Amino acid sequence: MRRSQQSGIVGAFDTPEEVIRAAHELRKSGYRRLEGYTPYPLLDLERAIGRGRSRIGFVVFPFAIAAAAIAYLVQWWTNAVNYPLDSGGRPAHAPPAFVPATFEMGVLFASLSACIILAIWSGLPALWQPIFEVPGFDRASIDKFFLAISDRDPAFDREAIARTLKELGASRVEPFGVHPATDAELDERLERAEGEES
């Protein structure tokens, strides 16, 4: 599940190539909690910040199969068991007749479950995030490319990240968030992360 970033540092870039290169370099430097904001989807940026294939299909598939099975069983039970009609010598259990409703119920429940799961995983409805307060962030939907690093990243260092973003071509670097983590909290997180790795 994706959690929203509460605070950190964001860099504004003018071109997609710059933000993709910056994301690659930051990942090579050990940063893992990166988030990109762009006016249009950038597959290369998703790969650069470490986003893998979405797991929603694997979660939705069982809902679709369960709904299709229930739809088929309801049709079978009502037509063959509970109220069989002998009409023109046709069998009470006629699988080809059950296919359209079975398929439609599978599609319906897959789409409904996908919408609900996506809303939950995305944290919707989230009408406001701290990053929205960054000056110029509204340009992320027009012509600017933003790369944010969360202060929850074990390798987070405000000065080093700001310097690195500037070196990578960021036209602007701004902190965001209501309560950025203190250096002591960040040192403690880094020690915990190093302890878990060993």
Q: List, for residues 169-189, the tens digit of each pLDDT value.
A: 999 999 988 555 556 665 676
Torsion sign (Cα): 134, 136, 140, 145: negative
Determine, yes or no, domain membership for 102. yes
Max Cα distance, the chain (Å): 82
Beta strands in 21-161 (DSSP E): 34-37, 145-150
Whether residue 1 is contained in a domain is answered as: no
pTM over cut 0.75: no
Q: Tell me the torsion sign for CA atoms 40, 42, 48, 52.
A: positive
Domain endpoint, select from 68, 90, 122: 122
Count the domains in the chain.
2
One domain, residues 63 and 34: no
Of how many residues is the chain composed?
198
Cβ partners under 8 Å of residue 3, min gap 6: 123
Examine the domain organization and report whether 172 and 81 are in the same domain.
no
Residue 184's domain comprises 7-53+130-197
Last residue of a domain, one of 98, 122, 146: 122
For 51-91, how does the pLDDT look when each residue is reduced to its tens digit (9 = 90+)?
888 899 999 999 999 999 999 999 999 988 998 888 777 88
Query: What gap in Å lies between CA 161 and CA 11, rounded to an integer?
Result: 9
